[in-house]
Amino acid sequence: MKGPLAVVTVVGLLACVPLAGASNVTLNFLIVAMLAALVGQGWNILGGYGGQYSFGHAAFFGSGAYVTAILQVRYGVNAWVGFGCGIVAGAIVGGVIGFLVFRSGLKGSYFALVTLAFAEVLRIVGSVAPITGAGVGTLIKLDLRPEALQFQSRAIFYWLILLLVFISLLIAERLEQTRFGAWLMAVRENEDSARALGVDVFAVKMGAAVLSAAVTAAAGCFYAQYFLFIDSSIAFGSRVSVEALLAAIVGGSGTVFGPLAGALAVRSLGEVAKLVAGDAPGVDLAIYGAVLVAVVAFAPRGIVGLGATLWARLRTGEAGHLAGSSSRG
């Protein structure tokens, strides 16, 4: 099954979970997993399809989260408007960073380094600037009304984040079908060849950076609304940057469903780790790191790639010759 129909089916199935009487614990788990899937999809647009590995996606997540929170708390702006502004702010930050970085032709490890540094700069600024609440953080007032984008029921929060994930999946799906997506993947495979074929490499990278940042910022906005609290290390800390690339890489970077599959897998693993080792700090991340190394070593195309290989083998009845050909769209 391919295309928009697959996206609709998967999201439709996920949307039924609350109707099947899932507990609040389950819903909370799913919300956090969808949040990771959204951040992962944001990373996937630029890293997976564009081949620009960012180690600092927290910069966009945090910008969205802070703008949503600050507009509400300090300026009394409506939460829905704040949410939209947060996404726009993230896109702008993505555009500015992208412009500076791509203009000077940084790629590969240099790109990873400089994005990491931008996120760190924002983290430090966020931890001292008065408007962010400095070290104390920013608390959004509890106000359980739909107008304030806060809901009594977790199911509604879940459907909201699922809607955002749905949109991000459609964006990724469009990337595989449109000319822009083809250009982007050409840049990933070989920048010089793409340029030689007439692709405007800079413009394509800029477009991907803005789109990627906007999706990631949406996750940040949702985080602020759901948890009603952010501080500088939550918003701009390296944890978000790591989870972003982790979901995409583990699930299968450069695939539509990779980040979703990766986020669910990684989050489930985190829960299992908590059951086994207790809620000690460090356990989940240590496992995430090990999973990252293992996936890169043994399954470079991630869960989706593994699934495609298995499916091809099943269909041909043996170690199929289709194994390598059906993963990347």
Partner 1 sequence: MFSPAILIQAVINGVLMGAVYALIALGLTLIYGVLHIINFAHGALLTMALFAVYFAYKVLGLDPYVAMLAIAPLFFAVGYGLQRFVIGPAAHGDDRSVMLVTLGLAIVIENLLLYAFHADTRTIDVPAGFNVIDVDGALLGVSRVIGFAAVMLLTLLLWALMKRTDTGKAIRAVAREKLGAELSGIDVAHIYAVTFGLGTACLGIAACLLIPTFYVNPTVGQSFILVAFTIVVLGGMGSVTGALLGGLFVGVIESLGGLFFGETLGQLGIFLVFILVLLVRPTGLFGERA
Question: Which residues contact partner 1 (rule: CB under 8 A)?
Answer: 51, 53, 55, 100-101, 103-106, 108-110, 112-114, 116-118, 120-121, 124-125, 127-128, 238, 242, 245, 249, 277, 280-283, 285-286, 288-293, 296-297, 300
Q: For residues 158 and 23, is the Cβ–Cβ distance under 8 A?
A: no
Question: Closest by alpha carbon to 94, among 47, 29, 138?
Answer: 47
In the complex, what is the shortest distance from the CB of residue 230 to partner 1, in angstroms, rounded to a whole number?
19
Nearer to partner 1, 296 or 322 (CB): 296
Nearer to partner 1, 131 or 277 (CB): 277
In the complex, what is the shortest distance from the CB of residue 173 to partner 1, in angstroms, rounded to a whole number?
24
Nearer to partner 1, 71 or 273 (CB): 273
CA atoms within 13 A on the CB side of 320: 15
Nearer to partner 1, 234 or 249 (CB): 249
Distance of alpha carbon 202 from alpha carbon 102, whole angstroms: 7
Nearer to partner 1, 127 or 326 (CB): 127
Element (H, E) at 230: strand 229-230
Question: Residue 236 is encoded by which pair of tokens?
Answer: 């701009």
In the complex, what is the shortest distance from the CB of residue 101 to partner 1, in angstroms, rounded to a whole number?
7
In the complex, what is the shortest distance from the CB of residue 140 to partner 1, in angstroms, rounded to a whole number?
26
What 3-state DSSP class applies to 237?
Answer: coil
Question: Closest by alpha carbon to 224, among 211, 234, 214?
Answer: 234
In the complex, what is the shortest distance from the CB of residue 129 to partner 1, in angstroms, rounded to a whole number?
11
What separation, in Å, do the N-terminal and C-terminal C-alpha atoms of the chain show?
A: 12
Report DSSP state, residue 152: S
